[in-house]
Structure 1
Amino acid sequence: MVNVISLDSNQLSTFRTHHHFEHYGEFHDLDEFAKYSHWAALNNAKVYILGNGSNTLFTADTIRALVLKNCIPKLLKSLPDNRLEISSSVQINDVLNYCYQRSLTSFYYLASVPASIGGALAMNAGRGRSHNCTIYDFVESVTFFDGETVKTLKNDEIARGYRKTIFTGMHEKLILSAILQFERTEFGISPISERRQFAKEHQDNTQPNCGTVFKSACYPIMDRLRGIRVGEAQFSQKTSNWILNKSASSRNIMRLIAIAKLLHLVTFRKIELEVISVN
């Protein structure tokens, strides 16, 4: 029997908006997750698998989806040839510290991202589009549960695009673990400290946020939106395409998003959300 509860919280998204979650649960192993999935099917509920909530926008006061927090045991297991088996619940910075201490290459550009490995793999996390580098540059394989069976896909078998994979969004594909491959290297200065310094200088973390809001947008338009405020939410003055929030409600965040979309619509420009909308 699964323990589906109702919950009031502002801790499930890094926007720190407050919501009533009608259906919330935490799973610690695959068996628990499968039971929750069965409950969702019986109750006609959509499933959202939550890591750290660093890319999540809850869009209603009451969230009716089944929100499942990934609490599977953390695993970092060294393998031959500078490879690492890692569970999806492990934090990005745990992997980066592991790699740095062993003089290994890694996705150090994610040192400023408060995400789990599962979340990073689901979103194909990386640097900006022009840099053409993502976490999948280091992925050998990903093991996941597709709602019926456990499968393992090699890197080139995983369909993905910019900030998108087969694991993105609301569904029942649970990333269990991945095998990552690194290479030996030498460091002059710490790439972790270097990235955090970059983030301090260029990213606005003075208030709750989910980082980059749109994965595709016209930056001249986004730059003109800097500083625009609706209630206690605003586009950052410092960082383009970045919403800061002090409100308990997500409504003003959604209004800012709507303004950006409208400006792109009337100027025939493409815009696409990066944050995942959950209701």
Structure 2
Amino acid sequence: MTADSLRGKLLLNEPLARYTSWRVGGPAQRLYRPADVQDLAQFLSELDADEPLFWLGLGSNLLISDAGLPGTVIHTQGCLGDISQLPDGSIRVEAGSSCAKVARFASRQGLVGAEFLAGIPGTMGGALAMNAGAWGGETWPLVRQVRTIDRRGRIRERARHDFEVGYRRVSGPDGEWFVGADLTLEPGDTEAAQARIRELLDRRAATQPTGVPSCGSVFRNPTGDHAARLIEAAGLKGKRLGGAEVSPKHANFIINLGGATAADIAALIDHVQHEVKRCSGICLQPEVRRLGAFE
């Protein structure tokens, strides 16, 4: 691959802490910010077949190790960010679009049903990959079809039935990643939709630790219960390990007090799991994915 063939930006040994919402993580051997989907396709088509490959949007559901990542990281946020309305009224979004931006765009078009996306601190690529949700809404009920790309740069249109979707879980064809989706929403009142977004953001600010580095919710809610209740019942609100703390405001958030390492956060996640299991018998399952080497 030659630099002249690329329209995006290729960075070497790029620190990843600046790209993650926890503000932790070592360097990427290579980080690529594509100019658009076609540029991404060309970049991937020229990668070695055994090149380790990782995808990063807003970095809100990832814990990247302090040692960093080998191979190549594809950074989509701020790159694959187009949003448009199709003639049939549906919305076409690229994977690097922030969920909050999609919610605002839909409301301006007089479409309702996407307001909950304003409460998800990530991109649509991550939301599609994990069926992200907030305030009673989930991503995949909105999806009409998706676009994926494989590591050889081949782009495909996929129907919803190509994927198995559950609570914070999506599985589909191996070796493909989301680069976009078409969302079906209902016509509604713009002012009401925008008021709903403001209401949800106010609730988020009142109940969650905004303004400090976190990844959003750390654990999935077990059936019939809430992870935050179980963590609080185990006496873990305010628990600290190194520079990481279980938020005193919302027990299902772990925050970086400043100077936390990925190892601190990983150790605190493990401690919370152990203590909740000891106190309640319930094994909490993390929503956050760990990337790289952890002891």
Q: TM-score range by the shorter chain?
A: 0.7 to 0.9
Who is 1:228 aligned against? 239
1:157 aligned to 157, 162, 180, which one? 162
Task: Give the alignment of 1:110-189 within 5 angstroms.
Answer: 110-127=117-134, 131=136, 133-148=137-152, 149-166=154-171, 172-186=175-189, 187-188=191-192
Identity of aligned residues (%): 22
Bigger shift: 246-255 or 143-152?
143-152
> 1:96–1:277: structure 2 CA closer, same or farther, 3 Å change rule?
same
Q: Distance in 2 between matches of 1:5 and 1:195?
A: 39
Contact 1:23–1:65, Cα closer than 8 Å, also in 2: yes
Is 1:251 matched with 2:263?
yes
Contact 1:92–1:110, Cα closer than 8 Å, also in 2: yes
What is the identity, as a one-letter code, of the residue corresponding to 1:233? A
Who is 1:47 aligned against? 53
Contact 1:40–1:47, Cα closer than 8 Å, also in 2: no
Task: Give the alignment of 1:1-279 within 5 angstroms.
Answer: 1=1, 3=10, 5-30=12-37, 32-34=39-41, 36-37=43-44, 41-42=48-49, 44-70=50-76, 72-127=79-134, 131=136, 133-148=137-152, 149-166=154-171, 172-186=175-189, 187-188=191-192, 190-216=195-221, 218-223=227-232, 224-245=235-256, 246-266=258-278, 268-279=281-292
Structure with the greater relative contact order (CA < 8 A, sep ≥ 6): 1 or 2?
1
> 1:249–1:87: structure 2 CA closer, same or farther, 3 Å change rule?
same
Contact 2:163–2:172, Cα closer than 8 Å, also in 1: no
Q: What is the root-mean-square deviation in Å for CA atoms of aligned residues? A: 2.6
Q: Distance in 1 between matches of 2:286 and 2:71?
A: 20
Contact 2:120–2:134, Cα closer than 8 Å, also in 1: no
TM-score by length of 2: 0.82
User: Matched residue of 1:177: which SS?
Assistant: strand
Q: Distance in 1 between matches of 2:20 and 2:58?
A: 7
1:14 shift after superposition? 0.3
1:13 shift after superposition? 0.7
Contact 2:229–2:251, Cα closer than 8 Å, also in 1: no
Who is 2:5 aligned against? none
1:34 shift after superposition? 4.4
Unaligned runs of 5+ in 1: none
Q: Distance in 1 between matches of 2:248 and 2:95?
A: 34
